[in-house]
């Protein structure tokens, strides 16, 4: 079965540079979530999109922005990178944004992640 695709898998940047992470959801999935995971930590929610509109925003710095395109893929743009931005960035996709009556539409499937290293 097709899974969530993320690119690039690894990215090395210098401080103050910019980075763009891409996410391609599972076919027919219309909802995308971005999470950030630091070393030894649990994933932290950044931002989500449903049908190309932002549906929720978490602890995402103002230096970061994201969008979902007409083909449902999403991009996370990170500017003025800082050392503390070094982390694993995961994208997850689901069919529909909110859990319903047990049909599994809220199940989130994660991609393999992008490891960002800021030097």
Q: Among residue numbers 13 through 52, which ones bind other proteins (CB under 8 A)? A: 31, 33, 35, 41-45, 48, 50
Instruction: For residue 115, state whether it binds other proteins (rule: CB under 8 A).
Output: yes
Site pattern 81..100 for other proteins (x: CB under 8 A): ---------x-x-x--xxx-
Instruction: Look at the alpha carbons of 55, 114, 13, 72 in this order and tell me if their dihedral is positive or negative.
Output: negative
E strands, the chain, are 5-7, 10-13, 19-24, 31-37, 44-50, 53-57, 64-68, 74-78, 87-94, 109-110, 114-118
Q: Which of 27, 39, 84, 102 binds other proteins (CB under 8 A)?
A: 102
Q: How far is the CB of 55 from other proteins (least distance, A)?
A: 4
Closest by alpha carbon to 11, among 84, 116, 113, 91? 116
Among 8, 56, 63, 119, binds other proteins (CB under 8 A): 56
Using the minimum distance from each CB to other proteins, give the nearer residue, 16 or 58: 58
């Amino acid at each position: 079965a097709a899974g969530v695709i993320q690119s690039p898998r690894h990215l090395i940047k210098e401080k103050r540079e910019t980075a763009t992470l891409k996410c391609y959801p599972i076919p027919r999935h219309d909802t995308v979530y971005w999470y950030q995971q630091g070393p030894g930590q649990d994933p932290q929610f950044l931002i989500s999109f449903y049908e190309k509109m932002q549906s929720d925003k978490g602890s995402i710095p103002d230096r970061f922005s994201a969008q979902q395109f007409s083909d449902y893929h999403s991009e996370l743009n990170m500017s003025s990178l800082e050392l503390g931005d070094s982390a694993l960035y995961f994208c997850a996709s689901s069919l529909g944004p909110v859990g319903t009556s047990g049909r599994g539409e809220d199940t989130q499937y994660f991609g393999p992640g992008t490891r960002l290293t800021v030097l």
